[in-house]
């Protein structure tokens, strides 16, 4: 899955409008936009929550979904399981990796039948250790978001995977707000995850715009996940913080350019650099001098271009004598000087 290039995931989530043709075209649009993968979510309202009209199940978090009951929201947002196989096929035709976030064991079993290549653990499922254990047992790469996680939650999730013999783990920095504010992004967590846990790291981004993924890549992110929608007019639970094809393409292009600009650690003196050094400073004779004249700050200076002695010799040559008559504008050489 991972290479030197960042793995960019277009998150389909609820952005299907209840229409499989919209979902299929969204997969194709993700390819056009430059994504490496399309990610689904595999659940039903009944596998993720209870159909109970109590306040426990009513959203009140200052979100676009406030006032809805969880079961109603997930019933609207869920991707029908009977669509999965066709979407996997379309993704394969397009050369995209297709995988999903399962929300219970039955979803994992279903995705195994589709030979899913990767599993994603959603932010709110990081505390579901039995689910993580079951996913890890399938020996597929695991991507885990950390939106609501404590350090202990992350440690436990990683340990759970490793105890199942699965160390192919990527931990994504995530802010579980929809949308997330830039002030809450805290992208410096990305390199800390790598250092602290010894795993790959990346970003599941809920901010508006494309800046956070670019910064994340500059901080070492190996995976970027961003919600993707064919057309925001489709509406739906996640439309308000998703990127359309044009916006996603702009993000991908910016990330790829950032990767090119990051390049590698490089102190090599290339031929181009050597040529450019002609514009560096060096020591030149700045007034006509006669044989026997002393070198002073009046007749030798450090100026551009770089054809004379290195400026590091300046203090050393002050007070020496010129060995002959030399014109102003001559690059100073050691054979011009004597004690």
Indicate if 238 and 275 belong to the same structural domain: no
Is 2 a residue whose pLDDT tops 70? no
Number of structural domains found in the chain: 2
Indicate if 315 and 239 belong to the same structural domain: no
Indicate if 246 and 275 belong to the same structural domain: no
CB within 8 Å of 257: residues ≥ 6 apart: none
pLDDT digit string (tens) for 25-38?
Answer: 999 999 999 999 99
Which residue among 262, 292, 322 closes a domain? 262
Q: Can you give the CATH number for the domain in which 32 is found?
A: 3.20.20.70
Distance in angstroms (rounded) separating the CA atoms of residues 92 and 27: 10
| Residue 57 belongs to some domain of the structure | no
CB within 8 Å of 192: residues ≥ 6 apart: none
Going by pLDDT thresholds of 50, 70 and 90, the confidence category of residue 1 is: low
Domain that holds residue 18: 7-43+78-262
pLDDT digit string (tens) for 36-91?
Answer: 999 999 999 999 999 999 999 998 877 777 888 999 988 988 999 999 999 999 99
pTM over the 0.75 mark: yes
Q: Can you give the CATH number for the domain in which 332 is found?
A: 3.90.1210.10
| Residue 306 belongs to some domain of the structure | yes
Alpha carbons within 13 A on the beta-carbon side of 18: 7
Indicate if 190 and 85 belong to the same structural domain: yes
CB within 8 Å of 208: residues ≥ 6 apart: 179, 241
| Residue 13 belongs to some domain of the structure | yes
| Residue 168 belongs to some domain of the structure | yes
Q: Are 195 and 165 in contact (CB under 8 A)?
A: no
Indicate if 25 and 160 belong to the same structural domain: yes
Give the pLDDT mean for 189-201: 97
- DSSP symbols for 109-145: HHHHHTT-S-EEE-GGGTT-HHHHHHHHTT---EEEE
| Residue 242 belongs to some domain of the structure | yes
């Amino acid at each position: 899955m991972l290479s030197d290039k960042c793995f960019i995931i277009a998150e389909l989530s609820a952005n299907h409008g209840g229409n499989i043709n919209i979902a299929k075209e969204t997969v194709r649009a993700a390819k056009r936009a430059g994504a490496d993968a399309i990610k689904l979510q595999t659940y039903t309202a009944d596998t993720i929550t209870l159909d109970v009209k109590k306040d426990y199940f009513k959203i009140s978090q200052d979100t676009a979904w406030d006032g809805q009951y969880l079961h109603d929201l997930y019933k609207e947002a869920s991707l029908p399981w009977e669509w999965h196989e066709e979407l996997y096929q379309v993704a394969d035709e397009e050369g995209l990796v297709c995988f999903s976030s399962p929300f219970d064991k039955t979803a994992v079993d279903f995705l195994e039948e589709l030979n899913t290549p990767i599993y994603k653990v959603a932010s709110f499922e990081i505390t579901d250790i039995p689910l993580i254990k079951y996913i890890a047992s399938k020996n597929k790469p695991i991507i885990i978001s950390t939106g609501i996680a404590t350090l202990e939650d992350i440690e436990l999730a990683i340990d759970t995977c490793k105890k199942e013999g699965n160390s192919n783990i990527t931990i994504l920095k995530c802010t579980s707000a929809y949308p997330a504010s830039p002030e809450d992004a805290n992208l410096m967590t990305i390199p800390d995850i790598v250092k602290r846990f010894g795993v790959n790291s990346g970003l599941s981004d809920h901010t508006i715009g494309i800046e956070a993924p670019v910064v994340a890549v500059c901080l070492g992110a190996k995976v970027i996940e961003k919600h993707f929608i064919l057309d925001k007019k489709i509406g739906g639970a996640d439309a308000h913080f998703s990127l359309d094809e044009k916006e996603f393409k702009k993000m991908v292009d910016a990330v790829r350019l950032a990767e090119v600009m990051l390049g590698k650690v490089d102190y090599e003196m290339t031929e181009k650099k050597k040529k450019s050094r002609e514009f560096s400073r060096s020591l030149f004779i700045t007034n006509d001098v006669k044989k026997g004249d002393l070198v002073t700050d009046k007749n030798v200076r450090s100026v551009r271009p770089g054809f004379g002695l290195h400026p590091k010799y300046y203090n050393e040559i002050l007070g020496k004598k010129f060995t002959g008559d030399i014109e102003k504008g001559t690059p100073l050489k050691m054979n011009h000087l004597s004690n």
